[in-house]
A and B are shown apart, each in its own frame.
Chain A
């Protein structure tokens, strides 16, 4: 009965469909951005964007042209700078596949993070699955320009090495956008960002020779964690402090630690499981935090004469490792206190355990943070010894002695 009308409407739908394709963008009209660098500039911001050249990555005939290109502009705001980029880029920049955003150190120290972050969190094109980092002692622009071997797209290299080093080595941390924002806004936590820097000859980084040599002259490193207070960068944690930070924030998936033997030499262990529990307590009005680190490890390398078949010796090693973890953790906390920045989220812990007291501490938490009492309990269990039991090093040593 009303079939006619329905069909008419369907035709109308199709007509409308045929007249406009407002939001469509052909793939060949897009410049897929993989990394974004934000630096301070006298005009406001300097924006550097790394765009990949798909034909060089997956095309059928690869040439020796670079796989990525970078463009830089300046602008009063980031949004403005990004749009101004269209005057020099051949295509519209597409940000949804961004892997990493790098901030220049200068910008972080002087300007702060907040203004840059708003655009990043507001723009619909940007997702949340990219990581953020700081260019340590250099501008983000220089860092973005470095070509990397193996991983064709440099941003991919940085992203994946951030991930693998977080998973296997521990002194770095992949910081995603929402985590960063929530630690920036939370009164009981301060933000951190991993630092990146170039070693070798940075000036050769953006030449194709950088990837043509076996040993690239310019390499990207990542092993420091930048500490924020408010939204400004106040300092850096070194490798061992970064590791301590990751122990406290329960961010250790797998790492390697070593202790010295009784004699000369070292034993390395692979920590394959680590859990940290933070408990807060208000003890007579002063905040108190207990850090329980429970780790399991296996022996990875024995470079000294030791009989690891001996349980007592194993317990000794365990105790040494525990002590070392405690040292690392305490070192990290001391550094944080030095910067007066609660990067571990102790305030958040107290908010959860002592919500009432927290309300009183919240106002001047940075002072309270200095007085915070911290107890570290490390518990290390060695579960396995690898594929061999006793090391052959002992035998070699004995042989040496005999030969002498």
Chain B
């Protein structure tokens, strides 16, 4: 675990803080002891709030107090640049007879003593609480109804590690962390463009979570940024603990099994999205960054597609789409074929399936349902269990259950194959949330297949596509560039064309600054 020093810009928090604490705009008292007792009372004498009462100066000695939240501050910084300067430097200066009045002392402390980058004057309690609880150090002087908030944020932090989801073989291995500053820094390190703008605001009445929206000015369509801001401003909730809260509160369509916002903990994916003119939403406290607008195909693209040769990338992408349909339809197709359309199965295959099903007591649908649900339970158990036992148990469970169930004649071997094929296919999806949608929809398709065979499946597919075409993500049709068809966009949809062919940015997302590159097809310069 590395230790990170976080310096926040203090000024832009003012408005939000004001907004939230309209009802409680209480000013600071002149009397320092009153202030201290009020703070202590308000915070319920919490033991992590440290108050250090000191006296500043020799002649014009003033009572002062330094308050900070233990654990959120960089103690070295408080020690070296706040306490030490206040207690030693002021005294030195005073001995040189520069300071005559309390007011001068106040100004001297403000202008010359506190040698930190961030310093802000505060005069109301809500401000004080906010800064105190964000990790700033508060310095109050007796006789002044105001004080200082010294930027001293620094807390234990997980550090940049490999992403736990969306792994790649080739490509950067860093991932976002729980700290907003680190995350913005990770993006900045990739895009050194002055037009990368990051705006923050606080959402959540209780949590006061920092939510930042990042975009590249000049690439992004202003409407989308405006839309994002408006939707964010509409949120009225007491807590934001993860970007999932934001996603659920601002997505276009509330009732849809499909994700309409992309999330990733990979800085390279997010940067690539920003460079296409999308807007990223970063939430403090989670490594998962949201990206909007998100299209259906985005959930089948991995950042690795771009780091490999284009032919490999394209084939793998096609494979993912194929796996999507396998994961969605394999069990339902099996049910439809074995209970409705036996004539479609080649005779020899039918014979062996029939032989296996001979002793199975359940209808194919129930059998499939049992196996699918068992598998879902196993998978869920595998995810939640301690990592050391999780995967082992799930594999063993699947093997034992599958094998034993077949041996006992409760399920047929074919069904085990079908379920494992489905399971493997659903793991192919590079994004977790699309895989979950597929897992849910699969059961709907199974019911349709069990009652109407292929006819039911086709109706289900039509309904699904109708729903998908009706969806929008921040105004962009979800199924574009397939429907509405944009021929030019096909270079980076189902397949991934070579980089030198993708000269233009996706025009659906942004109409501005269309040309991405002008690289010609590579060839040796010397003929």
Contact = CB atoms under 8 A, between A and B. Distances in A.
Interface of A: 3, 7, 10, 13-14, 16-18, 20-21, 23-28, 30, 32, 34, 52, 54-55, 57-59, 94, 96-97, 99, 125, 127, 156
B360 A30 contact: no
B351 interface: yes
A59 B358 contact: yes
Contacts of A55: 355, 358
B255 A94 contact: no
Given A10-B463, A17-B448, A97-B347, A30 B253 contact: no
B339 A17 contact: no
Interface in B427-461: 444, 447-448, 450-453, 456, 459
Contact of B355 (A57, A99, A127): A57
B342 A96 contact: yes
Among all A-B residue pairs, the 6 with the closest Cβ atoms? A96-B343, A58-B352, A54-B354, A58-B355, A54-B355, A17-B451
B343 A7 contact: no
B456 A17 contact: yes
A30 B350 CA distance: 11
B328 to A, nearest CB: 17
B354 A30 contact: yes
A27 B352 contact: no
B398 interface: no
A27 B347 contact: no
A10 B467 CA distance: 11
Interface string B336-366: 0011101100011011111111101001110
Contacts of B340: 23-25
B416 to A, nearest CB: 14
Given A27-B339, A54-B352, A97-B347, A18 B451 contact: yes
* Chain B contact surface mostly: helix
Contacts of B452: 17, 23
Nearest to A124: B343
A34 B448 CA distance: 30
B263 to A, nearest CB: 24
A28 B342 CA distance: 12
A3 B255 contact: yes
Contacts of A17: 447-448, 450-452, 456
Interface string B246-263: 000000011100000000
Nearest to B364: A26
A14 B357 CA distance: 27
Nearest to B336: A24
Given A17-B452, A59-B358, A96-B342, A27 B351 contact: no
Most buried by B among A7, A32, A58, A127: A58
Given A25-B342, A58-B354, A58-B355, 14 more contacts: A7-B255, A17-B450, A17-B452, A24-B340, A24-B450, A26-B338, A26-B363, A26-B364, A28-B358, A55-B355, A57-B351, A57-B355, A58-B348, A96-B343
Nearest to A152: B351
Interface residues of B, number: 33
A283 B447 CA distance: 69
Nearest to A24: B339
A352 B70 CA distance: 101
A162 to B, nearest CB: 16
B353 to A, nearest CB: 6
B451 A32 contact: no
A334 B292 CA distance: 83
A28 B354 contact: yes
Given A54-B352, A57-B351, A27 B451 contact: no
Interface of B: 253-255, 338-340, 342-343, 347-348, 350-358, 360, 363-365, 444, 447-448, 450-453, 456, 459, 463
B354 A27 contact: yes
A34 B365 CA distance: 26
Contacts of A27: 338-339, 342, 350, 353-354, 357, 364
A54 B354 CA distance: 6
A297 B5 CA distance: 90
Given A21-B450, A27-B354, A14 B444 contact: yes
Contacts of B254: 3
B226 to A, nearest CB: 23
B355 A24 contact: no
Nearest to B466: A6
Contacts of B463: 10, 13
B354 A97 contact: no
B252 to A, nearest CB: 11
B108 to A, nearest CB: 64
A52 B351 contact: yes
Contact of B253 (A3, A96, A97): A3
Nearest to B353: A27
B255 A127 contact: no
Contacts of A28: 354, 357-358, 360
Contact of B453 (A3, A23, A34, A94): A23
Contact of A32 (B255, B354, B357, B363): B354
Contact of A59 (B347, B355, B448, B451): B355
A58 B351 contact: yes
B406 to A, nearest CB: 10
B414 to A, nearest CB: 10
Contacts of A23: 340, 452-453
A154 to B, nearest CB: 14
Given A17-B456, A30-B342, A32-B354, A24 B360 contact: no
B358 A54 contact: yes
A24 B358 contact: no
Nearest to A31: B354
B47 to A, nearest CB: 50
B351 A14 contact: no
6 contacts: A13-B459, A14-B448, A25-B339, A26-B364, A32-B347, A32-B351
Contacts of B459: 13
A54 B347 CA distance: 10
Contact of A97 (B255, B343, B353, B356): B343
Q: Which of A26, A52, A125 has the most CB of B within 10 A?
A: A26
A181 B358 CA distance: 38
Given A27-B357, A59-B358, A54 B351 contact: yes
B522 to A, nearest CB: 50
Contact of A21 (B255, B348, B451): B451
A52 to B, nearest CB: 7
The residue in B253, B340, B358 that gathers the most chain A C-beta atoms within 10 A of its C-beta is: B358
